[in-house]
Amino acid sequence: MENKYVINWEKYASLARQAAAEGAVLLKNDHQALPLKKETISVFGRIQFHYYKSGTGSGGLVNAKYVVGITDALLEEENLSVNEELAEVYRSWIAEHPFDQGCGWAQEPWCQEEMPLEEKLVEEAAAKSDAAVIVIGRTAGEDRDASAEKGSYLLTDLEEDMLSKVCRAFERVIVVLNVGNIIDMKWVDKYRPSAVLYTWQGGQEGGHSVADVLTGRVNPCGKLADTIAHDISDYPSTENFGGDTFDLYTEDIYVGYRYFETFARDKVLYPFGFGLSYTGFGITCSPAEHRDGETIVRVKVTNTGALPGKEVVQVYVNPPQGKLGKPLRNLAAFAKTKCLVPGEEQELTLKFSDYDIASYDDSGVTGHKSCYVLEKGSYEVYAGTDVRSAEAAGSFEIPETEVISACTEAAGPVRKFERMRVGKGGVLAWEEVPVRTHKMQERVQTETLPDITYTGDKGYTLGEVFDGELSLDEFLAQLSEEDLCCIVRGEGMCSPKVTPGTAAAFGGVTESLQRYGIPCGCCADGPSGIRMDCGTPAFSMPNGTCLACTFDTELSEALYEMEGAELRKNRIDTLLGPGINIHRNPLNGRNFEYFSEDPYLTGMMASAQLKGMARYGVTGTVKHFAANNQEYHRRLLDSVMSERALREIYLRGFEIAVKEGKAYSIMTTYGAINGLWTASNYDLLTTILRKEWNFDGMVMTDWWADLNDEGGPASTDNLAAMVRSQNDVYMVTQDSLTNKDNLMKSLKEGTLKRGALLRSAGNICRMLMKSPVMERSLGRMSEEEKKAGEVMAGEDKVDFDITYHKVDGKLVLDGTEIDTSKGKSVVYGILLDTFGSYTVRLKVKADGSELAQIPVSVFANGHLEGTITINGTNGEWIEIERNIGPLFGPHNYIRLYFAQGGMKIQTVTVELQEEMSRGF
Ligand code: BGC
C-alpha cells in the first residue's frame, strides 16, 4: 500500500504547475494570437532568464531546488522553435549585467535593468520568426511597498522602448507579465500588442506553466482577482495610502469592484473576474431561488468553441440601497467547471446564505445597531463570467428588514472622519462615520476569566489530557506564574528547539514546561512554501494572487495537501500563511502574498488551503489579522476605518477561514486598528474572534510586534496587554526565561490576572494537542510516518540536530572535513552573545589553473551574503572573507555552498566586526 507520508514530488510539481497555469489571466487575444502554433518565436525581456517565483521578504525565502524560467520551458517545447541567436544576445548581456539582488532585507529592487534594444536586432529577429513574446517582470514585498513610479507600478523607459520597437517590427506580439500583482496597463492601448497574459509569480514550476498556456496545452481559465483601473489615482484608497502614522479608510466598504461598479464604471480597464479563453462558452441560468435563508442559482455552461477548456461562473448580488447604502455588486458565490470539450455542457449549482449578503449596521440607522441585517427590498442576482458582464439571474424580495445576526459593537473608530456612501440618485456622497461608544478597556477589566486554583506540581502531563484522562483545567492548575509567563513567549527565529531554520518555537519552550509534557510546536513561513533559513530545500508554490485567480478551491486544496505532507516531513506544525489581507490598494508591497480585493474569494481560497493541510494533521496560521494593508511604517500605522468596513471587508476573509476552513491558528499584525495595536486589541481578538466566531485556537503576534493598552503608547514589552486581549503568544523572544517584558511585574501589581495567562495557556495547549508534535512527543509517531522518514532520508536530508558553536567574539572551526564537491553545502549553527555584523573568513586553496573559477557562496540565515570566487592558488593557502549580518538573535546559521568543486578549506573563522542593537 502507498505510504501517504512519502512525498510524491512529481505529483507536487504537476499540481503546482497546473495551478500556476490555471491562474494565468488572458486579458487580450486579438485574432487568436495565442495559442502559439508550430512556429518560431523571439523572446524579449531579461526576465525570461530570471523568473520571479515569488515576491521578497519572509514570504519569498523558500530554498527551492530549482526554478523553471520561461525561456527554459519554451526551449523544452518540441513544436516550437525559439530564436536562439536572440536568446544568446540576452545571455551575454545578462552576464555583463547580472541580476541585482540588492543588499539585505527589503533591498532587492522591484525591477531589473532591461537590455536596451537596437532596432536592427529587433528587425532581424522579426525577419526570422513568426511571433514575439515579451516578458516583463516585477517584484515587491515585505517592508517596502510598490510605488506609482517607473520600475514599480509603471513600466520603465527601456521596457516601453522594448514594447514600442517589438510591436512595430512584429505583427504578433504576446506580452507575458511575471508580476506579484497588478501593474499599470495603460501601455496596452499605446502599443497594442496582440495578446496580454498575466502569469503572476508561479513558484518554482512557473516557467512550465507559462509554456503550457502559451502553447495551448492549458487553455487559460484564470480570472482577475482584482479590478484593473486606468490609473492608480482611480483607486479610491490611493489618496490615503502611504500615511506615516495613520491611513483613513474613507472609501469604507467600497473597495475594488465594489467602488468601481457603484461609482466609477468608466475608470475600469479590465473588470474583476475577467479573463479570456481560447474557446467560447455559453451560459444560461435559471432564476435564483431564495428559500429558508439560502439562495440557489443553477447555471448551465456550454463550451461553444473549438477547444477544450474550463470556465468560472460568478454570482453577484445587488441589494436594495435601503438606509445603509450598498455596493451595486457583491460576489456571493463562484464555481469552476471541469474541462469541457467542445459542445459539452455542465450544470453548476451555486449557493449563498442570507448572512453572506447581509450588511452590518454600525450606526443604528436601520433600527438595529451592531447587527447584520437584510434590509427590506429587492435583491437582484447576477450571474456571469466577470462582474461587469454578469447578467440578471432573477431576484427575491425581503418584505421587512431582517436581523440576520445580532453582534456587539466592537473595534470601531474613535477618530471622526467621513466615509463614502451611495447618495440620492446613486451618486457618491459622504457621511460621518459613527465612533465607538464603549471603552474597550472597561471590557478588558470586567472580563470573566478562568478561575482555577493553583495546585503546584501534581505530576500530571499534557499527554494525560490528550488521552482524555484529565481535564485541561486540572492540568493547567499546576503551572506556576513563571511557567505561565514563559508559555506565552515564543522563541525564535531559528530556535534550536524545533526544526532548524524555522521562524519560531512555541509551547514547551522551557525545561519546566517540558517536564509537564508540553511539547514545543514549530512554525515556519509561508505562505508560498516552507522557509528554512539554514538552507533546507522546500517546494516553492505559486503566489496568493495567482492561486486566487484560478477561482478553483479544489485545486488549491489538492495542492495544499502536498504542502501538508511537506510540513509533516519537516516537523512543522503550522505554516505561517495563508496571507489573507485584502488587496485594498495595488501598491501594497505584500499583495503578492495575499489573494484578492474581494473578501469572499479570499476566505474561500484560504479555507481550501487549510482543508488541504488538515489532511496531514497540520495547519496554516492565517495572517495578518487584520488590515495589514501597507508596508511603509507598518509598525507605526493606525488603520482608521468604520466598524462596517472592518467587518464586511477586512475581517470577512478571516471569518470564513475560521468558520469554513476551521482555522485554529492566527497571526496578528504590526500595526493598529482604530488606535489599538492588533496584537493587544481585545475587541478584535476576544469580542469578535472568540465570542462571535467561536474561535478556540491560538493567536500569535507578528515578529517583535508592538502592543498597547487603549490610549497608551505602543511598545514591545507590554505583553500584559497582549495576554489581556487574548493574543496568546508573543513572537518572538530570544529566551523565554529571561525575556524583559512586563508580565511578572503586572502579575504582582494585579493588572494582569493569573486567569488571563491560564486562558492563553489553554489556547496554546489546545493548539499543541491538535498538532503532530503532540503524538511525536509521546513517542507515538506511526510506523508509516517513521518508515517514510527513512525512505525520504536519501533525497533531502532534514538535519534536525544542527550543532551550535558559541562565538565569543571569535570562533575558529576546522574545515578540513568539509565536502566541497559541486552542489554540496555545509551548515553551522552559531550562538551569539553579541549582536551586530560579523565576518566569515575562510582559509582556502585550490589546485586548478589560474583561470579556474571556484566559487563559494556564503549565506547567513538564508540570505545570500555574497559569493567569493577564487582561482587556482598553486597549492598556497589564501584567506578570503565576507561580511555577514547584522545578526540580531542568538541562534543563527551560516551556510557555505559550493557551486563548483575544487576548493579545500582549512579553517572557517567567524568574528565580530561591529556590535549593534536592533533599534526598536
Ligand atoms: C512577517 C510575517 C512572518 C514573520 C516570520 C514578519 O516579518 O510580517 O508575515 O511570518 O516575519 O518570518
223 occurs within a structural domain: no
> Going by DSSP bridges, is the β-strand pair 730-733/489-491 parallel, antiparallel, or unpaired?
parallel
| Confidence (pLDDT) at 362 | 98
614-632 pLDDT tens trace:
999 999 999 999 999 999 9
Q: Match 565536502 to its residue by C-alpha cell.
A: 819
Atom of ligand 1 nearest to the CA of 624: 9
Residues lower than pLDDT 50 in the chain: 920
Give Cα 389 to chain centroid, integer Å.
30
Note every long-range contact of 741-746, with CB atoms under 8 Å and residues 24 or more positions apart, other chains counting: 741/489, 741/716, 741/717, 742/717, 742/718, 743/485, 743/488, 743/719, 744/481, 744/482, 744/485, 746/720
Give the pLDDT of residue 862. Answer: 75
Q: Cell numbers 522563541 correspond to what residue?
A: 491
Last residue of a domain, one of 380, 406, 432: 406
14 found inside a domain: no
Q: Within this chain, do residues 76 and 125 fall inside the same structural domain, yes or no? A: yes
Active site residue 702: yes
Question: Is residue 844 in some structural domain?
Answer: yes
177 shares a domain with 83? yes
Measured in angstroms, how far is the CA atom of residue 701 from the centroid of ligand 1? 9
Using the atom order of ligand 1, give the atom closest to the CA of residue 504. 5
Read off the CATH number of the domain in which 598 is found.
3.20.20.300
Give the pLDDT of residue 920.
46
> Which residue is catalytic, options 702, 709, 728, 741?
702
Number of H helices, E strands in the chain: 24, 42
Residues 327 and 208 in one domain: no
Nearest CA to ligand 1 atom 11: 703
Cis amide linkage into residue 772, ω under 30° from 0: no
- Position 794 scores a pLDDT of 65
Q: Note down the domain range covering 330.
A: 281-406
Please check whether residue 626 lies inside any domain of the structure: yes
Q: How far is the CA of 58 from the centre of ligand 1 (A)?
A: 6
CA separation, residue 574 to residues 570, 578, 698, 699, 745 (Å): 11, 11, 11, 12, 32
7 within a domain of the structure (yes/no): no
User: For the segment 188-226, what is each residue's pLDDT rounded down to a tens digit?
Assistant: 999 999 999 999 999 999 999 999 999 999 999 999 999
Pairing between β-strand 173-178 and β-strand 131-137 as defined by DSSP bridges: parallel
Residue 622 Cβ inside 6 Å of ligand 1? The answer reads no
- For residues 812 and 755, membership in a common domain is answered with no
Q: How many CB atoms lie within 10 A of CB 127?
A: 9
> Atom 3, ligand 1: which residue's CA is nearest?
58
Are 371 and 321 contained in the same domain? yes
Quote the ligand 1 centre to 732 CA distance (angstroms): 10
**C-alpha cell belonging to residue 716:** 514591545
CATH assignment of the domain containing 202:
3.40.50.1700
Kindly report the number of other CB atoms within 10 A of residue 739's CB atom.
17
155 plus 190 within the same structural domain: yes
Final residue belonging to a domain, choices 218, 243, 264 = 218
Determine if ligand 1 sits within 6 Å of the CB of residue 576: yes
Residue 796, class by beta-carbon neighbours within 10 Å (0-12 exposed, 13-18 middle, 19+ buried)? middle
15 within domain boundaries? no
Among candidate residues 192, 218, 244, the one where a domain is terminated: 218
Cα of 822 vs centre of ligand 1, distance in Å, is 33
Grid coordinates belonging to 643: 466598524
Atom of ligand 1 nearest to the CA of 525: 10
Same domain, 516 and 599: yes
Half-sphere exposure (Cβ direction) of 849: Cα atoms closer than 13 Å? 2
Would the CB of 503 count as within 6 Å of ligand 1? yes
Q: 213 and 87 share a domain?
A: yes
Q: How many domains does the chain have?
A: 4
Does 389 map to a domain?
A: yes
Per the domain annotation, does 3 fall within a domain? no
Say yes or no: 611 and 646 in one domain: yes
